[in-house]
Amino acid sequence: MPILGYIVTALAAYLLGSIPTGFVVARARGVDIRTVGSGNIGATNVFRSLGTPAGVFVLLADAAKGLVAVEVLAPLLGSCFYPVAGPLAREWFRVVAGICAILGHNYTCWLHFRGGKGIATSAGALLALVPWSLLIILAVWVIVFLVTRYVSLASMLAAFVLPFATWLTGRSLVLISVTAGMAVLAIYKHKPNIRRLLNGTENRISFRKKAAGDRPALPA
């Protein structure tokens, strides 16, 4: 039964994570988010293409997918399939749920397995799994973003720091390994941004107010 429980948890978390929030919100506005800006369905592209309210909603909804997968789905399904699970087994149920929710967001079955970069969904999962590590990498993200105004660079450097933050906060080898894998996946999903950063064509977030005739900047 434990193996079946892990399989069901993985599938349920994947389906939760695969809900393409950015795509749905943009469609409600008559826009195919895949055809504007960077073509990414994540919160950054929604924010810069559709505005702050839509971007904030997508950011919070995508983060909620990771949080709910770990804090709700994993305990619920774990208790159903493995009621006598010890601490290590319960931790693995949570880890499996978090990873699969992120994979669902990044490779959603509803959009031909093309999705977002998983940063917000990862943040939701990390809030449940390693909250102090998340606090550290959020600080890194904010500092890098304020200095460079590159969302992509801030996200990649925060991802790079994640396993070290998990180690520094005294978490288990399981969580250190898992967060290292999450970091690699997050950086891998930023390949187009890395190319644009190297070419000097990556877009920055601008804090200035647009003049009436200004065209909106393309998203990172």
Among 128, 145, 160, the domain-final residue is 128
Q: Is the pLDDT of residue 14 over 70?
A: yes
- Mark whether 115 and 14 lie in a shared domain: yes
What is the spatial distance between Cα 24 and Cα 105, in angstroms, rounded to a whole number?
A: 13
Q: Are residues 47 and 147 in the same domain?
A: no
Q: Mean pLDDT of all residues in the chain?
A: 92
Domain check: are 174 and 124 in the same one?
A: no
> Does some domain include residue 32?
yes
CA distance 160 to 146: 18
pLDDT tens for 85-130 read 888 889 999 999 999 999 999 999 999 999 999 999 999 999 999 9
| 110 and 160 in a common domain | no
Q: Do the domain assignments include residue 220?
A: no
pTM of the model: 0.90
DSSP 10-61: HHHHHHHHT--HHHHHHHHTT--GGGSTT---SHHHHHHHH-HHHHHHHHHH
Report pLDDT for 1: 61
Tell me, yes or no, whether 214 lies in a domain: no
pLDDT tens digits for 64-76? 999 999 999 999 9
Is the same domain home to 50 and 149? Answer: no
| Per-residue model confidence (pLDDT) at position 220 | 39
Q: Measured between alpha carbons, how far is 178 from 138 in angstroms, rounded to an integer?
A: 18
Q: Are residues 81 and 151 in the same domain?
A: no
Residues 8 and 107 in one domain: yes
Decide which of 217 and 184 is more confident: 184
In tens, the pLDDT along 139-195 reads 999 999 999 999 999 999 999 999 999 999 999 999 999 999 999 999 999 999 999
Does residue 95 lie within any of the structural domains? Answer: yes
pLDDT at 207: 64
Cα–Cα distance measured from residue 48 to residue 44, given in angstroms and rounded to the nearest whole number? 6
Question: Last residue of some domain: 96, 128, 160?
Answer: 128
Looking at the fold, whether 72 and 22 belong to one and the same domain comes out as yes
**Are 124 and 134 in a shared domain?**
no
DSSP per-residue letters across 69-124:
IIIIIHHHHHHHH-TT--HHHHHHHHHHHHHHHHHHHHT-GGGTT-----HHHHHH
The structural domain count of the chain equals 2
Predicted local confidence at residue 204, as pLDDT: 87
Mean pLDDT of 198-219: 64
102 part of a folded domain? yes
pLDDT at 81: 87
Higher pLDDT, 214 or 142: 142
Residue 138 shares a structural domain with residue 118: no
Residue 153 counted as domain residue = yes
Rounded distance, CA 199 to CA 163, Å? 28
Of 94, 128, 162, the position where a domain reaches its end is: 128
Same domain, 75 and 21: yes
Q: Residue 205: which pLDDT band, with cuts at 50, 70 and 90?
A: confident
CA dist., res. 213 & res. 18, Å (int): 38
Domain that holds residue 76: 1-128
Q: What is the pLDDT of residue 216?
A: 43
Q: Are 71 and 128 in contact (CB under 8 A)?
A: yes
Residue 162 lies in a domain: yes
Assigned domain for 187 exists: yes
146 and 187 fall within a common domain: yes
Q: In this predicted structure, what is the pLDDT of residue 218?
A: 39
Tens-place pLDDT, residues 22-62: 999 999 999 999 999 889 999 999 998 999 999 999 999 99
**pLDDT at residue number 213:** 44
